[in-house]
Chains A and B, each alone.
Chain A
Amino acid sequence: MAMVSSRCFALALGAAAATLAGRWRPRSSARLPLLLPRCVQSEVRISNQKHARDGRGLPRRVLSKESQSSSSVVADNGLEYEAVIGIETHVQLGTATKAFCSCPSQYGAEPNAHVCPVCMGLPGALPVLNDKVVEYGVKLALALHSEIALTSKFDRKQYFYPDLPKGYQISQYDVPIASKGFIDVDLPVEFGGGHRCFGITRVHMEEDAGKLVHAGGERLSGSSSSQVDLNRAGVPLLEVVSEPEMRTGLEAAEYAAELQRLVRYLGISNGNMQEGSMRCDVNVSVRPKGRPQFGTKVEIKNMNSFSAMQRAIDFEIDRQVTLENEGLGHQIKQETRLWEEGSQRTISMRSKEGLADYRYFPEPDLPEVTLTQDYVDATQATLPELPNAKRRRYESLGLSMQDVLVLANDSDVAAFFDEVVGKGTDVKQAANWIMGDLSAWLKNEKLAITETKLTPAALAELIDLIKDGTISGKIGKEILPELLQNGVSAREAIEAKGLSQISDAAVIESMVDAIIAENPKQVAAYRGGKTKLQGFFVGQVMKVSSGRVNPALLNKILLSKLNC
């Protein structure tokens, strides 16, 4: 397919381009008019709220003034408020090519380097669905325990914007690929811990829009000109819509973190929030506790980390509760607010009143997406052990929740741990080594666990050699960098450096004899009652043996010699 010149399409609009910013800017889909049935897990959530409240008073991750991690807020007027939080997450899929054309789907290329007639929306061009997008959609749907639609379809979501080449986004409207799922979340121990299960309303496939680059400003508003980069146009996304079941910034952030873990475990996205590979739009409203109706919801965008999400939501809850408290509840408008990292607050971006009409209709250029149950079953069989299952298994191994959360956080770390344990190694020791010295070294070297030369087998061997007394724990720590950098086995490292422990009684005896002979004064003092000098003799023997003498055996032999 012909590549089109790789330049930006400049939009010189003059300073008056400003007015655009005041208009709607649809990136996330509007809430659907039809309400899909809530998942069964919503019941679980209600009973879980108690746990969340129990968590009050425990140390918080973010201790800003606005921070609000408990599930309800008692306002000055005595009313107890709770927040209702729902999240729409766009996950950018890590497919080699775009959703509907064969352009590379990569981040960070020269502007308009990855474009073709299809993703540029040139007259006559037609979309062809990338099978990988469906595969990834099914994988995530299965991981979210959703109902998969064996027949789903694409629709056109229509609106005008300079970064939307066709004037519509190919998306899924009334028949998404999956609906009615749930996600299991374990809250961090330092926040009081607890398990949550949040409902997933739906998962659907869609394409991304391009990107506007503004001259003289971050936004179209106030910039003298804007340029369009269509590299991202047509990149595949999965939009995951949660049920409005989260009650705190922490729960929301942990929901997002678990979703990120899932897509990474599945290998369908890098889930990177800074690069925008995972974008969360959060809807927040507050209501007096016990009232079934929702309050006016506000959408928050522009959070590029989980902690920013938590802070933004807690700020927003606080803002809304304060308004309610002051009798200014009517000032909570249905609007989109931006999280400003600099000032740590949300600011109004545009009103959402007078809902945009996207004039959805079925995409006539694409046939329905039909899946067979066999395909779904075969895909299910390829899924790896997912984070929640892994955490439950680690718990059953007897690890603390703290350890469980750390180890299961990263699929590579978990896989490494599993392999080490698979060698029959002590579980707690394996966890300690991986979370302790190993991860400290990795952090220092800025490497991932997959980038070292240390094999799980080598770590297992190291742990075993310590356990059976071949080397001391101290020696183990000393040789670890050798294992990490050069990929040698623990035994090779020990032998090469002559570091194996001396446990031969005859050898130790002769060493002890030599030390006693060399230090007659200290021997006399010891025998005269200064038994504290035992440490001196141990030190001397360790010095000449470079610390290799088995300490227990040494003490035994030393005492027998000195006390005779």
Chain B
Amino acid sequence: MISRHLHCSAQAAIPTRTHVLETSEQQASTHQRPISVIRKIRESLISRERTAVEITEGYLAKLQEREPHIRSFLHISAEKALLDAEEIDKLLSEGGGGELGLLAGVPLGVKDNLCTRDMPSTGGSQILKGYCPPYDATAVCKLREAGAVLVGKTNMDEFGMGSSTESSAYQVTSNPWDLSRVPGGSSGGSAAAVAAGQCAGALGSDTGGSIRQPASFCGIVGLKPSYGRVSRFGLMAYASSLDVVGCLGASVLDTAILLQVIAGHDKNDSTSSLEEVPDYAAQLLPVEGLSSKPLAGVKFGLIKETMDEEGVEEDVASAVKAAALHLQELGASVTEVSLPMFSLGLPAYYVLAPSEASSNLARYDGVRFGPRAHGEEVMSMFGNSRAEGFGPEVKRRILMGTYALSAGYYDAFYKRSQQVRTLIQRDFKAALQDVDVLLSPVAPSAAYKIGEKLDNPLSMYLGDLMTVNVNLAGLPSLVVPCGIAKGGTCGLPVGLQMIGPAFGEEVLLRLGHIFEQTLPMNFNAPLLTS
């Protein structure tokens, strides 16, 4: 059914970024401003240029065509997606265009740790193999209410624990820029799928950088909202006090629209904020209408500690410096800002997150859902089910967390880390009183080779250095592609991290939009034709 339409719609379904990228220099000379894929779909639906079914078929065709190379999806829901698209077309043909949701007919991917009632939800873990939740996560529910067409569940590091998506129990996802490299993680499936044009946008989750780092690795936009901005209900908990649901898109406007839909208080999540949800897209105006210095008066602070670190690769540092220069050209001021406690964030994170994880993952015991292993008595049944069900990285973190919370160790580890967390929050708060937005790289490097860090968990953890502090502080952060590093056949993307005050997503999106629209570079993953 899908293949019937492959030829006629596959190319046309991708409204942007379909040309082959050869070199970054060439890219600059053929600059196309990133456009909102979501808005384009909406426009073509309203103008009746295309039907929702055609759009979905186009995406599904591309998804299927590229999936063997990228392996970004754990579950593809083609039939249901087409049925949902038909519903949108029906609504349109009945003249209900005015009631079209913000995401009507937009094919989206959903990270596999978000519960979906009509698709399996495994969290990338063997321990939930075949598990179909009886309910939709609130964020998923909101996508559906806005008319989104959910095409499938994206691959991820098991329960979000990992930075390369190699910890998935099911498959390794490739980076669309270089199939021998990782897409980042843990939302690597979502990032790779968006970068490869397999869907128009995707939901991810971010506990220590899991949206931002893969967005940077795959050359797309990733938004980690403030803690509490989006309901966590239905998100399989990794570290409850750090987890946020966020979005990945081809442009800042796309992530703004996605956030618009999923943000807001939820009575099912006591930690979701009552803070009002502004109209995020309203201020993302076409760049043509802006003055030559649209960022005049805006103060950026480049976090010194993220640039001085020996571990930051030169290409990444220079891409971020170039981005800072570009912001200055747009009229903004960029100063260097020091966050003295910065380096304490990573160790604190690797105490707090595993501690909470050890508790959150206790429910996977083989009693009520998931595969149950045999045991001679109930405790060995628990043990065997968990031994067989969890992968090595998850086990490592459960062990670390269990240790940190044990009697006699609690004060030295958990309590001390909470104190560090408070200090880090204060650092950010103080810095954000002097500047509007903080800047930093997203990760020390661009995408690395599959398998490169698999045997060295510590070096993998070090890669989270620039992102975990933002989770500890609960702040919003937007990642926008800003440069190209050496590597692969035609370079590897590097993202710029913009960190704002709590519930300051509106500012981040507005500044990020201007940056993205004015940066004379394209970030299109090389077309996969092999």
Chain A residues proximal to chain B, CB less than 8 Å? 1-4, 9, 11, 13-14, 16-20, 23, 117, 120-129, 156, 158, 160, 162, 165-168, 220, 226, 228, 357, 359-361, 364-367
Q: Are A165 and B368 in contact (CB under 8 A)?
A: yes
Given A2-B117, A359-B402, A367–B359 Cβ distance below 8 Å?
no
Contact flags B107-129 to A (C-beta < 8 A → 1, else 0)? 00000011101000101000010
Contact A160 B268 (CB under 8 A): no
Cα(A160)–Cα(B131), bound, Å: 21
Residue of B nearest to A17 (CB): B377
Task: Give 20 pairs: A residue, B residue, CB < 8 Å, sorted on A.
Answer: A2-B135, A11-B367, A14-B376, A122-B134, A123-B237, A123-B363, A124-B114, A124-B115, A125-B233, A125-B234, A128-B270, A160-B365, A168-B362, A228-B367, A228-B368, A359-B405, A359-B406, A364-B356, A365-B237, A366-B271
Q: Which residues of the partner chain A approach B270 to less than 8 Å between Cβ atoms?
A: 126-129, 365-367
Q: Which residues of B contact A2 (CB under 8 A)?
A: 117, 134-135
Q: Is the CB of A123 within 8 A of B135?
A: no
Residue of A nearest to B410 (CB): A361
Which of B271, B363, B405 counts the most A-chain CB atoms under 10 A from its CB? B363
Point out the residue from A1, A166, A228, A359 that lies within 8 Å of B363, measured CB to CB: A166
Q: Which residues of A contact B364 (CB under 8 A)?
A: 123
B375 at the interface (CB under 8 A from A): yes
Least CB distance, A241 to chain B, in whole angstroms: 20
The A contact surface, by secondary structure, is loop
B268–A124 CB distance below 8 A: no
Other-chain contact of B268, A14, A20, A128, A158 (Cβ < 8 Å): A128
Q: Could you tell me the distance in whole angstroms from the C-beta of B417 to the nearest C-beta in chain A?
A: 11
Would you give the shortest CB distance from A86 to chain B, in whole angstroms? 22
**Which of B134, B271, B359 is close to A167, meaning CB atoms less than 8 Å apart?**
B359
Contact call A122/B362, Cβ cutoff below 8 A: no
Beyond A20-B377, A128-B270, A366-B270, whether A117 also contacts B368 by CB under 8 A is: no
Contacts of B331 in A (CB 8 A): none
- Asked whether, in the complex, the Cβ of A167 is within 8 Å of the Cβ of B115, the reply is no
8 Å CB contact of A357 from B268, B381, B407 = B407
Tell me if B267 counts as interface (CB < 8 A to partner A).
yes
Neighbouring A residues of B115 by C-beta, 8 Å: 122-124
Docked Cα-Cα span, A117 to B414, in Å, equals 29
Q: Does B378 interact with chain A (Cβ within 8 Å)? A: yes
Complex contact A124–B362 (CB within 8 A): no
Within 8 A of A (CB), among B227-277: 232-237, 239-241, 267-271
Q: Give chain A nearest CB distance to B257 CB in angstroms.
A: 24
A167 x B406 contact (CB < 8 A) = no
* A-B pairs with lowest CB-CB distance, top 3: A167-B362, A364-B240, A364-B241
* CB-based nearest A residue for B232: A126
* B458 contacts chain A at the CB level, 8 A cutoff: no
* B170 is an interface residue with CB less than 8 A from chain A: no
User: Is the beta-carbon distance between A19 and B369 smaller than 8 angstroms?
Assistant: no
Query: B319-360: contact bitstring with A at CB < 8 Å (1 yes, 0 no)?
Result: 000000000000000000000000000000000000110110
- Give chain B's interface secondary structure class: loop
Which residues from 398 to 414 on chain B have a C-beta closer than 8 Å to any C-beta of chain A?
402, 405-407, 410, 414
Given A160, A226, A361, which contacts B405 in the complex, CB threshold below 8 Å?
A361
* A residues near B362, Cβ cutoff 8 Å: 158, 160, 166-168
Complex CA gap A129/B128 in Å reads: 28
Take A13-B378, A16-B376, A361-B410 as given contacts and tell me if A121 and B368 are in contact as well, using a CB distance cutoff of 8 Å: yes
**Docked complex Cα distance between A18 and B358 (Å):** 27
CB of A23 within 8 A of CB of B379, answer yes
* Residue of B367, B402, B406 with highest tally of chain A CB at under 10 A: B367
Give CA–CA (A123, B405) in the complex, Å: 22
Measured CB to CB, the residues of B under 8 A from A are 113-115, 117, 121, 123, 128, 131, 133-135, 137, 232-237, 239-241, 267-271, 355-356, 358-359, 361-365, 367-369, 375-379, 381-382, 402, 405-407, 410, 414
What residues of chain A lie closer than 8 Å to B375, measured between beta carbons? 13
A117 to B239, CA, bound (A): 19
Q: Which residues of A contact B365 (CB under 8 A)?
A: 160, 162, 167
Shortest B373–chain A CB gap in Å is 12
Given contacts A128-B267, A162-B378, A359-B406, contact A122 B133 (CB under 8 A): yes
Q: Does the CB pair A20–B378 fall under 8 Å?
A: yes
Which chain A residue lies CB-closest to B381? A13
When C-beta atoms are compared, the residue in chain B nearest to A5 turns out to be: B134
Q: Bound complex: CA of A230 vs CA of B101, how far in Å?
A: 39
| A18 touching B234 in the complex, CB below 8 Å, given contacts A9-B367, A158-B359 | no
- State A2–B361 Cα separation when bound (angstroms): 22
Whole-angstrom distance between the alpha carbons of A19 and B379 in the complex?
Answer: 9
Contact check, A156 vs B359: say whether CB atoms are below 8 A apart: yes
Least CB distance from A563 to B in Å reads: 90
Given A16-B377, A359-B402, A361-B359, CB of A160 within 8 Å of CB of B135: no
Verify A4–B134 contact, CB threshold 8 A. yes
- Which of these, B133, B358, B382, contacts A124 with CB under 8 Å? B133
- Which residues of B have CB within 8 Å of A160? 362, 365, 379, 382
- CB-CB nearest in chain A for B369: A122
Q: Is the CB of B359 within 8 A of A168?
A: yes
Residues on A with beta carbons closer than 8 Å to the beta carbon of B377: 13, 16-20
Are B137 and A124 in contact, CB atoms less than 8 angstroms apart? Answer: yes
Further pairs besides A16-B377, A121-B363, A366-B270: 8, Cβ < 8 Å = A2-B135, A13-B376, A19-B379, A129-B270, A364-B241, A364-B356, A365-B237, A367-B271
- With a CB–CB cut-off of 8 A, which chain B residues contact A168? 359, 362
Within the assembled complex, what's the spacing in Å between the Cα atoms of A14 and B378? Answer: 10
Contact residues in A for B121 (Cβ distance below 8 Å): 123-124
* Complex: A385 Cα to B128 Cα, angstroms: 54
The verdict on A123 contacting B133 (CB below 8 Å), with A2-B117, A160-B362 known, is yes
Residues from chain A with a CB closer than 8 A to the CB of B369 are 122-123
Inter-chain CA distance A14–B365, complex, in Å, is 18
Q: How far is the CA of A11 from the CA of B381 in the complex (A)?
A: 10
Q: Return B422 CB to nearest CB of chain A, in Å.
A: 13
By a CB distance below 8 angstroms, the chain B residues around A220 are 378
Report how far A364 CA is from B375 CA in the complex, Å.
32
Known: A117-B135, A160-B362. A124 touches B236 (CB 8 A): yes
Instruction: Give the complex CA separation of A364 and B227 in angstroms.
Output: 12
In the complex with contacts A165-B363, A361-B359, A126-B269 CB distance below 8 A: yes
Evaluate whether A365 and B271 lie within 8 angstroms (CB atoms) in the complex, with A13-B375, A124-B115, A359-B406 already known.
yes
Q: Which of A3, A125, A128, A168 has the most CB of B within 10 A?
A: A125
CB-based contact B406/A123 at 8 Å: no
Residues of B within 8 A of A9 (CB): 367-368
Closest residue of A by beta carbon distance from B402: A359
Name the CB-closest residue of A to B233: A126
Q: Are B133 and A365 in contact (CB under 8 A)?
A: no
Which residue of chain B is the closest to A128 with respect to CB atoms? B270
